[in-house]
Amino acid sequence: MTEYMHNPTVDVLLDRRSIRAFQQEPIDPQTLTTIEAAAQHAASSQYLNDWSAIRILDHTLKQQIAEVGRQPYIADAAALYVFVLDEYRNAVIARNSGVAVDSDEFTLNHSYRFSQAQNDAVLALHAMETAAESLGLGCVILGSILNDVPRLIELMKLPEYTYPVLGLAIGKPAQQPNLKPRLPRSVQFFDNAYNSDPELMLQRMSEFNEEVHQYYDLRDAAHPVPTYDAQIAQKAVDQGVLERGLGHARAGVRHRTLAAHQRCRGLNPRLRECGLRCSARCARM
């Protein structure tokens, strides 16, 4: 095995693991300010700064978000953030500068811009997570908050041109899980072109399958986890995922009032299929 180079930053990244049990201790304000600044220093496409993060302070709201995620430990985190893609702020600025944001000339509400903003939100969240872990805190990234996007939008009063991306729960660790196995680099890093040979890929994955099978997750410490290929095969036919994220938000629009539906008719004709832009607006009606 190749020996890694080490320094404090690399060691924090190589040692990252999801923490799902937290000590009941608050995080001091200076630490929170520091990790929030780290998030703000992440790269931002075209300097749009098109993300925001909502820190959840209200305990009842924490519990409601934990119910959305169906993970009780979310409410136990000392700090809970929800990162959102955010073109609302830029829309306000553009409108103030004379841009007709309700016309076809306005492009910040198109799917490409939302994809950019989602990427920026993820980069910012990862920077915050790394900074928090470097200060001795534990974190878990929460995709589970997307179990019920319309409910989450309602709880956080998100305006149009925003959309929840991920949550981040932070606290002082009350557990020390083993590092989860990582894919062999040979099947995830390629030189010059993608190596799509399936036989070679499966051959290189065989040892990894056994390594994953021998890994014990603290959530089920009595049993090893299924092999990697078994997990992928199961997730490849998971119908529940179709009800999450943007698809879930679109489905939520169908039962809304006719008046609300009328508000959607002014969309750019190229987006009549009720894609990302429509979802981001309709989910707030």
pTM: 0.82
- 162: nearest Cα among 172, 177, 147, 152: 152
Task: Among 159-168, 181-190, 249-258, 265-274, name the most confident range.
Answer: 159-168
Whether residue 263 is predicted with pLDDT greater than 70 in this model: the reply is no
Q: Residues 262, 263, 266, CA angle at the centre, nearest 5°?
A: 95
Rounded Cα distance, 140 and 122, in Å: 13
Per-residue pLDDT reduced to its tens digit, 110-123 = 999 999 999 999 99
Whether residue 20 is predicted with pLDDT greater than 50 in this model: the reply is yes
* Average pLDDT value for residue range 139-165: 96
Cβ neighbours around 69 below 10 Å, total: 21
Rounded Cα distance, 202 and 209, in Å: 10
Cβ neighbours around 48 below 10 Å, total: 16
Give residue 275's Cα distance to chain centre: 20
Share of the chain above pLDDT 70, in %: 84
Residue carrying the six token digits 């799917």: 111
Share of the chain above pLDDT 90, in %: 68
Q: Following CA atoms 97, 153, 121, 237 in sequence, which dihedral angle do they give, to the nearest 10 degrees?
A: -130
Per-residue pLDDT reduced to its tens digit, 198-249 = 999 999 998 888 888 888 777 776 777 888 888 888 888 888 776 665 543 3
Containing 276, the helix (H) or strand (E) segment is helix 276-282
